[in-house]
Amino acid sequence: MNAAPLHKSPEVESFVSHTLKSTKPLPPVTWANAASELNWLNVAILTVVPAISVAGIWCTTLRWETALFSVVYYYITGLGVTAGYHRLWAHRSYNASTFLQYFLAVAGAGAVQGSIKWWSRGHRAHHRYTDTELDPYNAGEGFWWSHVGWMLIKPRRKPGVADVSDLSKNAVVRWQHRYYLLLLLGMTFAIPTAVPWLGWGDARGGCVYGGFVRLLVVHHSTFCVNSLAHWLGDAPFDDKHSPRDHLVTALCTIGEGYHNFHHQFPMDYRNAFKWYQYDPTKWFIWVFPDNEVRKGQLTMELKRMHEAQEKLVWPQDSNDLPVVSWASYVEQSAEWPLILVAGFIHDVASFVDEHPGGARYIVKYIGKDATTAFFGGVYAHSNAAHNLLAMKRVGVLHGGIPRAVDDRVVPPSQRLRVVRYAELGSAYSSSTACSDQDDKEGMLE
Ligand SMILES: [Zn+2]
Ligand SMILES: [Zn+2]
Protein backbone atom coordinates (compact mmCIF):
# COMPACT_ATOMS: atom_id res chain seq x y z
CA MET A 1 0.00 0.00 0.00
CA ASN A 2 1.21 3.47 -0.76
CA ALA A 3 1.30 5.97 2.04
CA ALA A 4 -1.46 8.50 1.39
CA PRO A 5 -0.55 12.19 1.55
CA LEU A 6 -1.11 13.61 5.02
CA HIS A 7 -2.49 17.07 5.57
CA LYS A 8 -3.90 16.85 9.05
CA SER A 9 -3.17 18.95 12.11
CA PRO A 10 0.31 18.28 13.56
CA GLU A 11 -1.01 16.12 16.44
CA VAL A 12 -3.13 13.98 14.13
CA GLU A 13 -0.32 13.86 11.60
CA SER A 14 2.22 12.68 14.14
CA PHE A 15 -0.29 10.22 15.58
CA VAL A 16 -0.90 8.80 12.11
CA SER A 17 2.79 8.49 11.22
CA HIS A 18 3.59 7.07 14.63
CA THR A 19 0.81 4.47 14.36
CA LEU A 20 1.77 3.54 10.81
CA LYS A 21 5.40 3.06 11.86
CA SER A 22 4.73 1.20 15.08
CA THR A 23 1.96 -1.19 13.98
CA LYS A 24 2.14 -3.68 11.16
CA PRO A 25 -0.76 -3.99 8.72
CA LEU A 26 -2.14 -7.43 7.84
CA PRO A 27 -0.54 -8.82 4.66
CA PRO A 28 -2.13 -7.85 1.31
CA VAL A 29 -4.99 -10.06 0.15
CA THR A 30 -3.94 -12.53 -2.56
CA TRP A 31 -5.56 -15.58 -4.15
CA ALA A 32 -3.65 -17.73 -1.68
CA ASN A 33 -5.00 -16.10 1.49
CA ALA A 34 -8.39 -14.89 0.13
CA ALA A 35 -10.40 -17.64 1.86
CA SER A 36 -9.28 -16.48 5.28
CA GLU A 37 -8.97 -12.74 4.54
CA LEU A 38 -12.31 -12.01 2.87
CA ASN A 39 -15.20 -10.81 5.00
CA TRP A 40 -17.56 -13.54 3.80
CA LEU A 41 -20.71 -12.13 5.38
CA ASN A 42 -20.26 -8.81 3.57
CA VAL A 43 -19.27 -10.56 0.34
CA ALA A 44 -22.49 -12.58 0.56
CA ILE A 45 -24.70 -9.55 1.27
CA LEU A 46 -23.10 -7.43 -1.45
CA THR A 47 -23.38 -10.13 -4.14
CA VAL A 48 -26.62 -11.94 -3.24
CA VAL A 49 -28.68 -8.73 -2.97
CA PRO A 50 -27.79 -7.54 -6.51
CA ALA A 51 -28.21 -11.08 -7.92
CA ILE A 52 -31.70 -11.55 -6.46
CA SER A 53 -32.62 -7.99 -7.49
CA VAL A 54 -31.68 -8.58 -11.13
CA ALA A 55 -33.42 -11.97 -11.23
CA GLY A 56 -36.44 -10.52 -9.42
CA ILE A 57 -36.82 -7.57 -11.80
CA TRP A 58 -36.54 -10.04 -14.70
CA CYS A 59 -39.49 -12.15 -13.63
CA THR A 60 -41.68 -9.96 -11.41
CA THR A 61 -44.20 -7.44 -12.71
CA LEU A 62 -43.86 -4.04 -11.10
CA ARG A 63 -47.17 -2.58 -9.97
CA TRP A 64 -47.39 1.17 -9.59
CA GLU A 65 -48.48 0.90 -5.93
CA THR A 66 -45.43 -1.22 -5.19
CA ALA A 67 -43.17 1.15 -7.14
CA LEU A 68 -44.45 4.13 -5.15
CA PHE A 69 -44.11 2.25 -1.87
CA SER A 70 -40.54 1.19 -2.73
CA VAL A 71 -39.48 4.77 -3.46
CA VAL A 72 -40.99 6.00 -0.18
CA TYR A 73 -39.38 3.08 1.67
CA TYR A 74 -36.04 3.91 0.04
CA TYR A 75 -36.25 7.41 1.51
CA ILE A 76 -37.31 6.14 4.95
CA THR A 77 -34.46 3.64 5.27
CA GLY A 78 -31.97 5.99 3.57
CA LEU A 79 -32.85 8.80 5.99
CA GLY A 80 -32.24 6.33 8.83
CA VAL A 81 -28.62 6.40 7.68
CA THR A 82 -28.21 10.02 6.55
CA ALA A 83 -30.29 11.83 9.19
CA GLY A 84 -29.83 9.15 11.86
CA TYR A 85 -26.54 7.20 11.70
CA HIS A 86 -24.62 10.00 10.07
CA ARG A 87 -25.81 13.44 11.18
CA LEU A 88 -27.42 12.56 14.50
CA TRP A 89 -25.18 9.87 15.97
CA ALA A 90 -21.81 10.00 14.21
CA HIS A 91 -21.66 13.81 14.33
CA ARG A 92 -24.20 14.79 17.00
CA SER A 93 -25.06 17.73 14.76
CA TYR A 94 -28.55 18.15 16.23
CA ASN A 95 -30.71 16.83 19.06
CA ALA A 96 -33.65 14.54 18.39
CA SER A 97 -36.62 13.61 20.57
CA THR A 98 -36.73 10.03 21.88
CA PHE A 99 -39.47 9.20 19.37
CA LEU A 100 -37.39 10.46 16.44
CA GLN A 101 -34.34 8.57 17.71
CA TYR A 102 -36.24 5.26 17.79
CA PHE A 103 -37.72 5.98 14.37
CA LEU A 104 -34.27 6.64 12.88
CA ALA A 105 -32.69 3.64 14.63
CA VAL A 106 -35.39 1.31 13.27
CA ALA A 107 -35.35 2.88 9.80
CA GLY A 108 -31.55 2.69 9.66
CA ALA A 109 -31.61 -1.04 10.45
CA GLY A 110 -33.48 -1.49 7.14
CA ALA A 111 -30.45 -0.09 5.26
CA VAL A 112 -28.25 -3.05 6.35
CA GLN A 113 -25.08 -1.11 7.15
CA GLY A 114 -24.28 -2.45 10.60
CA SER A 115 -25.41 -1.05 13.92
CA ILE A 116 -25.29 2.66 14.75
CA LYS A 117 -22.41 2.08 17.12
CA TRP A 118 -20.22 0.21 14.63
CA TRP A 119 -21.04 2.62 11.79
CA SER A 120 -20.35 5.77 13.83
CA ARG A 121 -17.07 4.39 15.12
CA GLY A 122 -15.78 3.98 11.56
CA HIS A 123 -17.22 7.27 10.39
CA ARG A 124 -15.62 9.29 13.17
CA ALA A 125 -12.26 7.72 12.23
CA HIS A 126 -12.97 8.60 8.58
CA HIS A 127 -13.35 12.29 9.49
CA ARG A 128 -10.40 12.39 11.81
CA TYR A 129 -7.95 10.54 9.56
CA THR A 130 -9.36 11.43 6.12
CA ASP A 131 -7.12 10.27 3.26
CA THR A 132 -4.76 8.32 5.50
CA GLU A 133 -4.41 4.58 6.13
CA LEU A 134 -6.21 5.00 9.46
CA ASP A 135 -9.34 6.07 7.55
CA PRO A 136 -11.38 2.84 7.12
CA TYR A 137 -12.55 3.93 3.66
CA ASN A 138 -9.54 5.92 2.59
CA ALA A 139 -10.33 7.56 -0.75
CA GLY A 140 -6.62 7.55 -1.56
CA GLU A 141 -6.92 3.81 -2.26
CA GLY A 142 -9.21 4.48 -5.21
CA PHE A 143 -12.89 4.85 -6.05
CA TRP A 144 -13.93 1.19 -5.78
CA TRP A 145 -12.00 0.63 -2.59
CA SER A 146 -13.84 3.46 -0.83
CA HIS A 147 -17.17 2.42 -2.41
CA VAL A 148 -17.27 -1.31 -1.51
CA GLY A 149 -13.73 -2.75 -1.50
CA TRP A 150 -13.04 -1.91 2.12
CA MET A 151 -16.04 -3.99 3.25
CA LEU A 152 -15.17 -7.10 1.26
CA ILE A 153 -11.93 -7.92 3.05
CA LYS A 154 -10.95 -7.89 6.69
CA PRO A 155 -9.54 -4.45 7.54
CA ARG A 156 -5.78 -4.38 7.02
CA ARG A 157 -5.42 -2.04 9.95
CA LYS A 158 -7.58 -1.03 12.87
CA PRO A 159 -9.22 2.33 12.08
CA GLY A 160 -7.64 5.26 13.92
CA VAL A 161 -8.86 5.87 17.45
CA ALA A 162 -12.24 7.58 17.74
CA ASP A 163 -14.24 8.06 20.89
CA VAL A 164 -17.76 6.62 20.88
CA SER A 165 -18.28 6.55 24.65
CA ASP A 166 -21.24 8.93 24.24
CA LEU A 167 -22.96 6.37 22.02
CA SER A 168 -22.20 3.51 24.42
CA LYS A 169 -24.25 5.42 27.00
CA ASN A 170 -27.14 6.21 24.64
CA ALA A 171 -30.18 4.02 25.42
CA VAL A 172 -31.48 4.01 21.83
CA VAL A 173 -28.08 3.10 20.37
CA ARG A 174 -27.70 0.26 22.88
CA TRP A 175 -31.21 -0.99 22.20
CA GLN A 176 -30.58 -1.02 18.43
CA HIS A 177 -27.22 -2.79 18.88
CA ARG A 178 -28.87 -5.46 21.01
CA TYR A 179 -31.81 -6.23 18.71
CA TYR A 180 -29.98 -5.40 15.52
CA LEU A 181 -30.51 -8.71 13.69
CA LEU A 182 -34.20 -8.78 14.50
CA LEU A 183 -34.68 -5.17 13.44
CA LEU A 184 -32.68 -5.79 10.27
CA LEU A 185 -34.80 -8.77 9.17
CA GLY A 186 -38.04 -7.02 10.06
CA MET A 187 -37.22 -3.75 8.34
CA THR A 188 -35.39 -5.16 5.33
CA PHE A 189 -37.74 -7.96 4.29
CA ALA A 190 -40.77 -8.45 6.56
CA ILE A 191 -42.23 -4.94 6.40
CA PRO A 192 -41.66 -4.26 2.68
CA THR A 193 -43.27 -7.63 1.92
CA ALA A 194 -46.14 -7.27 4.40
CA VAL A 195 -47.24 -3.73 3.46
CA PRO A 196 -47.82 -4.40 -0.31
CA TRP A 197 -49.27 -7.83 0.53
CA LEU A 198 -51.86 -6.51 3.00
CA GLY A 199 -52.35 -3.27 1.11
CA TRP A 200 -52.86 -4.41 -2.49
CA GLY A 201 -52.04 -8.15 -2.54
CA ASP A 202 -48.52 -7.89 -3.95
CA ALA A 203 -46.30 -9.79 -1.51
CA ARG A 204 -43.89 -10.94 -4.20
CA GLY A 205 -43.48 -7.49 -5.73
CA GLY A 206 -43.03 -6.05 -2.24
CA CYS A 207 -40.29 -8.53 -1.43
CA VAL A 208 -38.46 -7.99 -4.74
CA TYR A 209 -38.85 -4.23 -5.21
CA GLY A 210 -39.44 -2.93 -1.67
CA GLY A 211 -37.01 -5.44 -0.17
CA PHE A 212 -34.14 -6.38 -2.48
CA VAL A 213 -34.07 -3.73 -5.20
CA ARG A 214 -34.68 -0.95 -2.67
CA LEU A 215 -31.86 -2.29 -0.47
CA LEU A 216 -29.51 -2.44 -3.46
CA VAL A 217 -30.25 1.22 -4.23
CA VAL A 218 -29.95 2.30 -0.57
CA HIS A 219 -26.61 0.49 -0.34
CA HIS A 220 -24.99 2.03 -3.37
CA SER A 221 -26.47 5.47 -2.84
CA THR A 222 -25.05 5.66 0.68
CA PHE A 223 -21.75 4.08 -0.43
CA CYS A 224 -21.44 7.00 -2.86
CA VAL A 225 -20.82 9.27 0.14
CA ASN A 226 -17.49 7.51 0.62
CA SER A 227 -16.60 7.15 -3.06
CA LEU A 228 -18.31 9.68 -5.36
CA ALA A 229 -18.29 12.44 -2.70
CA HIS A 230 -14.50 12.07 -2.43
CA TRP A 231 -13.97 12.08 -6.18
CA LEU A 232 -16.45 14.24 -8.13
CA GLY A 233 -16.84 18.00 -7.91
CA ASP A 234 -14.97 20.91 -6.47
CA ALA A 235 -13.54 21.95 -3.13
CA PRO A 236 -14.85 25.42 -2.23
CA PHE A 237 -13.89 25.18 1.46
CA ASP A 238 -10.61 23.27 1.61
CA ASP A 239 -8.73 21.46 -1.14
CA LYS A 240 -6.15 19.79 1.08
CA HIS A 241 -8.32 16.68 1.32
CA SER A 242 -10.35 14.59 -1.09
CA PRO A 243 -13.99 15.51 -0.11
CA ARG A 244 -15.85 17.32 -2.92
CA ASP A 245 -19.15 19.16 -3.44
CA HIS A 246 -21.38 18.11 -6.34
CA LEU A 247 -25.09 18.19 -7.13
CA VAL A 248 -24.98 14.74 -8.77
CA THR A 249 -23.62 13.23 -5.56
CA ALA A 250 -26.31 15.05 -3.57
CA LEU A 251 -29.01 13.61 -5.86
CA CYS A 252 -27.58 10.10 -5.39
CA THR A 253 -27.25 10.31 -1.62
CA ILE A 254 -30.38 12.07 -0.25
CA GLY A 255 -28.41 15.27 0.06
CA GLU A 256 -25.02 14.12 1.34
CA GLY A 257 -23.29 15.52 -1.73
CA TYR A 258 -21.84 18.73 -0.32
CA HIS A 259 -19.09 16.71 1.21
CA ASN A 260 -16.33 19.32 1.08
CA PHE A 261 -18.52 21.56 3.25
CA HIS A 262 -19.42 18.57 5.42
CA HIS A 263 -15.79 17.62 6.18
CA GLN A 264 -15.11 21.25 7.11
CA PHE A 265 -18.23 21.58 9.27
CA PRO A 266 -19.20 18.06 10.37
CA MET A 267 -21.04 19.42 13.41
CA ASP A 268 -23.42 21.34 11.13
CA TYR A 269 -26.68 19.45 10.66
CA ARG A 270 -26.72 20.64 7.04
CA ASN A 271 -24.70 19.30 4.11
CA ALA A 272 -26.05 21.93 1.76
CA PHE A 273 -26.03 25.25 3.55
CA LYS A 274 -27.51 27.28 0.68
CA TRP A 275 -31.27 27.18 0.28
CA TYR A 276 -31.18 26.15 -3.39
CA GLN A 277 -28.87 23.20 -2.85
CA TYR A 278 -30.46 19.76 -2.76
CA ASP A 279 -30.43 18.33 0.77
CA PRO A 280 -33.60 16.36 1.67
CA THR A 281 -31.92 15.07 4.84
CA LYS A 282 -31.70 18.65 6.09
CA TRP A 283 -35.34 19.25 5.14
CA PHE A 284 -36.30 16.10 7.05
CA ILE A 285 -34.47 17.38 10.15
CA TRP A 286 -36.35 20.68 9.74
CA VAL A 287 -39.68 18.87 9.99
CA PHE A 288 -38.77 17.91 13.56
CA PRO A 289 -37.50 21.28 14.71
CA ASP A 290 -35.58 20.93 17.87
CA ASN A 291 -34.79 23.83 20.14
CA GLU A 292 -31.16 23.77 19.01
CA VAL A 293 -32.08 23.60 15.33
CA ARG A 294 -34.33 26.61 15.83
CA LYS A 295 -31.38 28.41 17.37
CA GLY A 296 -29.42 27.70 14.20
CA GLN A 297 -32.23 29.09 12.06
CA LEU A 298 -32.56 32.16 14.28
CA THR A 299 -28.80 32.72 14.05
CA MET A 300 -29.09 32.90 10.28
CA GLU A 301 -32.03 35.32 10.52
CA LEU A 302 -30.09 37.52 12.92
CA LYS A 303 -27.14 37.43 10.54
CA ARG A 304 -29.33 38.66 7.69
CA MET A 305 -30.81 41.37 9.92
CA HIS A 306 -27.35 42.41 11.00
CA GLU A 307 -26.30 42.75 7.36
CA ALA A 308 -29.38 44.88 6.63
CA GLN A 309 -28.61 47.01 9.68
CA GLU A 310 -24.98 47.53 8.62
CA LYS A 311 -26.17 49.18 5.42
CA LEU A 312 -27.97 51.93 7.37
CA VAL A 313 -26.64 55.02 9.10
CA TRP A 314 -27.38 55.04 12.81
CA PRO A 315 -27.50 57.83 15.41
CA GLN A 316 -24.40 58.49 17.42
CA ASP A 317 -23.81 56.28 20.39
CA SER A 318 -24.62 58.02 23.67
CA ASN A 319 -21.08 57.14 24.80
CA ASP A 320 -19.69 59.34 22.06
CA LEU A 321 -21.89 62.31 22.90
CA PRO A 322 -20.88 65.03 25.34
CA VAL A 323 -22.71 65.08 28.67
CA VAL A 324 -24.20 68.49 29.37
CA SER A 325 -25.76 69.93 32.51
CA TRP A 326 -29.25 71.44 32.48
CA ALA A 327 -27.86 74.96 33.06
CA SER A 328 -25.37 74.59 30.23
CA TYR A 329 -28.10 73.25 27.91
CA VAL A 330 -30.35 76.22 28.62
CA GLU A 331 -27.46 78.63 28.17
CA GLN A 332 -26.28 77.10 24.87
CA SER A 333 -29.78 76.86 23.41
CA ALA A 334 -30.05 80.65 23.66
CA GLU A 335 -27.45 80.79 20.86
CA TRP A 336 -28.29 77.70 18.84
CA PRO A 337 -31.64 75.85 18.38
CA LEU A 338 -31.37 72.85 20.72
CA ILE A 339 -34.24 70.73 21.96
CA LEU A 340 -34.27 68.15 24.72
CA VAL A 341 -36.25 64.94 24.15
CA ALA A 342 -35.97 61.85 26.36
CA GLY A 343 -32.64 62.90 27.83
CA PHE A 344 -30.97 63.59 24.48
CA ILE A 345 -30.14 67.08 23.25
CA HIS A 346 -30.94 67.54 19.55
CA ASP A 347 -29.62 70.09 17.09
CA VAL A 348 -32.71 71.16 15.16
CA ALA A 349 -31.14 74.09 13.25
CA SER A 350 -31.52 72.39 9.86
CA PHE A 351 -34.97 71.11 10.69
CA VAL A 352 -36.93 74.04 12.08
CA ASP A 353 -38.25 75.08 8.69
CA GLU A 354 -38.84 71.52 7.53
CA HIS A 355 -40.86 70.45 10.56
CA PRO A 356 -44.16 69.12 9.13
CA GLY A 357 -46.05 70.44 12.17
CA GLY A 358 -44.75 73.97 11.56
CA ALA A 359 -41.67 75.83 12.78
CA ARG A 360 -43.42 77.46 15.68
CA TYR A 361 -43.96 74.19 17.54
CA ILE A 362 -40.26 73.55 17.47
CA VAL A 363 -39.19 77.07 18.34
CA LYS A 364 -41.50 76.97 21.35
CA TYR A 365 -39.48 74.11 22.88
CA ILE A 366 -35.96 75.37 22.27
CA GLY A 367 -34.08 75.25 25.57
CA LYS A 368 -36.91 73.24 27.18
CA ASP A 369 -37.76 69.58 27.77
CA ALA A 370 -39.96 68.54 24.83
CA THR A 371 -40.24 64.87 25.81
CA THR A 372 -43.91 64.92 26.76
CA ALA A 373 -44.83 67.12 23.81
CA PHE A 374 -42.98 64.86 21.36
CA PHE A 375 -44.49 61.63 22.69
CA GLY A 376 -48.08 62.71 22.47
CA GLY A 377 -48.58 65.69 24.76
CA VAL A 378 -48.82 67.91 21.72
CA TYR A 379 -48.54 65.40 18.91
CA ALA A 380 -47.82 61.65 18.95
CA HIS A 381 -45.00 61.44 16.45
CA SER A 382 -44.63 58.61 13.94
CA ASN A 383 -41.94 55.95 13.94
CA ALA A 384 -40.21 57.81 11.12
CA ALA A 385 -40.19 61.06 13.11
CA HIS A 386 -38.69 59.27 16.08
CA ASN A 387 -36.01 57.61 13.91
CA LEU A 388 -35.17 60.96 12.32
CA LEU A 389 -35.04 62.77 15.66
CA ALA A 390 -32.44 60.29 16.93
CA MET A 391 -30.18 61.25 14.00
CA LYS A 392 -30.06 64.82 15.31
CA ARG A 393 -28.63 63.93 18.71
CA VAL A 394 -25.69 66.08 19.72
CA GLY A 395 -25.55 65.63 23.48
CA VAL A 396 -26.81 63.85 26.55
CA LEU A 397 -28.33 65.65 29.51
CA HIS A 398 -26.52 64.98 32.75
CA GLY A 399 -28.65 62.35 34.51
CA GLY A 400 -31.26 62.77 31.82
CA ILE A 401 -31.52 59.26 30.39
CA PRO A 402 -33.41 56.80 32.54
CA ARG A 403 -31.40 53.83 33.68
CA ALA A 404 -33.77 51.28 32.24
CA VAL A 405 -34.08 51.16 28.50
CA ASP A 406 -37.22 52.98 27.62
CA ASP A 407 -39.10 53.07 24.32
CA ARG A 408 -38.78 56.80 24.32
CA VAL A 409 -34.99 56.55 24.34
CA VAL A 410 -34.73 53.84 21.67
CA PRO A 411 -36.06 54.85 18.25
CA PRO A 412 -38.43 52.24 16.72
CA SER A 413 -36.00 51.04 14.04
CA GLN A 414 -33.47 50.22 16.74
CA ARG A 415 -35.78 48.35 19.11
CA LEU A 416 -34.55 44.97 17.90
CA ARG A 417 -31.13 46.14 16.87
CA VAL A 418 -28.88 43.11 16.57
CA VAL A 419 -26.32 43.55 19.25
CA ARG A 420 -22.71 42.55 18.75
CA TYR A 421 -20.27 41.96 21.57
CA ALA A 422 -18.64 45.34 20.98
CA GLU A 423 -22.00 47.04 21.36
CA LEU A 424 -22.84 45.41 24.68
CA GLY A 425 -22.23 47.76 27.55
CA SER A 426 -22.41 50.81 25.33
CA ALA A 427 -25.24 52.27 23.28
CA TYR A 428 -28.43 52.47 25.31
CA SER A 429 -27.20 50.58 28.29
CA SER A 430 -24.71 53.38 28.94
CA SER A 431 -27.17 55.64 30.72
CA THR A 432 -25.53 54.74 34.02
CA ALA A 433 -22.37 56.45 32.81
CA CYS A 434 -24.30 59.70 32.41
CA SER A 435 -25.19 59.84 36.06
CA ASP A 436 -21.57 59.49 37.05
CA GLN A 437 -20.50 62.65 38.90
CA ASP A 438 -17.06 62.71 37.32
CA ASP A 439 -18.40 62.54 33.81
CA LYS A 440 -17.06 64.99 31.32
CA GLU A 441 -18.98 68.20 30.99
CA GLY A 442 -18.91 68.97 27.31
CA MET A 443 -19.64 71.92 25.12
CA LEU A 444 -21.70 71.30 22.05
CA GLU A 445 -19.99 72.08 18.81
ZN1 LIG B 1 -16.06 11.70 3.72
ZN1 LIG C 1 -19.62 12.70 8.12
Give per-residue pLDDT as tens, 95-153.
Answer: 898 999 999 999 999 999 999 999 999 999 999 999 999 999 999 999 999 999 999 99
- Tell me how far the alpha carbon of residue 230 lies from the centroid of ligand 1, in angstroms: 6
Per-position b or e across 333-359, b if 16+ CB within 10 A of its CB:
beeebbbbbbbbbbbbeebbeeeeeee
Please count the CA atoms within 13 angstroms of the CA of 326 that sit on its side-chain side. 6
Per-residue pLDDT at 422: 57
Distances in Å between the alpha carbon of 189 and those of 115, 173, 194, 213, 217? Answer: 17, 22, 8, 11, 15
Q: Is the entire prediction scored with pTM above 0.95? A: no
374 contacts 346 by C-beta, under 8 angstroms: no
For residue 395, give the H/E element and its range. strand 393-397
- Tell me how far the alpha carbon of residue 271 lies from the centroid of ligand 2, in angstroms: 9
Backbone dihedral angles phi then psi of residue 248, each to the nearest 5 degrees: -60, -45
Q: Which 3 state secondary structure label does DSSP give 205? A: helix
Per-residue pLDDT at 107: 98
- Tell me how far the alpha carbon of residue 14 lies from the centroid of ligand 1, in angstroms: 21
Distance CA 194, CA 156 (A): 41
CA nearest neighbour of 83 among 66, 100, 71, 58: 100
Distance CA 28, CA 37 (A): 9
Which ligand does the CA of 89 lie closest to?
2
- Tell me how far the alpha carbon of residue 20 lies from the centroid of ligand 2, in angstroms: 23
Per-residue pLDDT at 88: 95
Residue 164, judged by CB atoms within 10 A of its CB (0-12, 13-18, 19+), counts as: buried
Which ligand does the CA of 249 lie closest to?
1
- Tell me how far the alpha carbon of residue 44 lies from the centroid of ligand 2, in angstroms: 27
Neighbours of 320 (CB within 10 A): 11
- Tell me how far the alpha carbon of residue 287 lies from the centroid of ligand 1, in angstroms: 25
- Tell me how far the alpha carbon of residue 126 lies from the centroid of ligand 1, in angstroms: 7
Per-residue pLDDT at 398: 86
431 contacts 318 by C-beta, under 8 angstroms: yes
- Tell me how far the alpha carbon of residue 138 lies from the centroid of ligand 1, in angstroms: 9
141 contacts 101 by C-beta, under 8 angstroms: no
- Tell me how far the alpha carbon of residue 152 lies from the centroid of ligand 1, in angstroms: 19
Which ligand does the CA of 230 lie closest to?
1
Within 320-436, residue ranges assigned H as helices are 326-333, 359-363, 371-374, 383-391, 431-434
- Tell me how far the alpha carbon of residue 165 lies from the centroid of ligand 2, in angstroms: 18
Per-residue pLDDT at 419: 64
Per-residue pLDDT at 5: 47
Distance CA 163, CA 114 (A): 18
Q: Residue-wise pLDDT tens for the chain (445 aa)?
A: 444 444 567 777 778 888 888 888 888 888 999 889 999 999 999 999 999 999 999 999 999 999 999 999 999 999 999 999 999 999 999 889 899 999 999 999 999 999 999 999 999 999 999 999 999 999 999 999 999 999 999 998 889 889 999 999 999 999 999 999 999 999 999 999 999 999 999 999 999 999 999 999 999 999 999 999 999 999 988 888 999 999 999 999 999 999 999 999 998 889 988 888 999 999 998 887 666 667 777 888 888 888 888 888 888 777 788 899 999 999 999 999 999 998 899 999 888 888 888 888 888 899 999 888 888 777 778 888 888 888 899 998 887 765 445 667 777 777 666 666 655 554 444 443 344 444 444 445 4
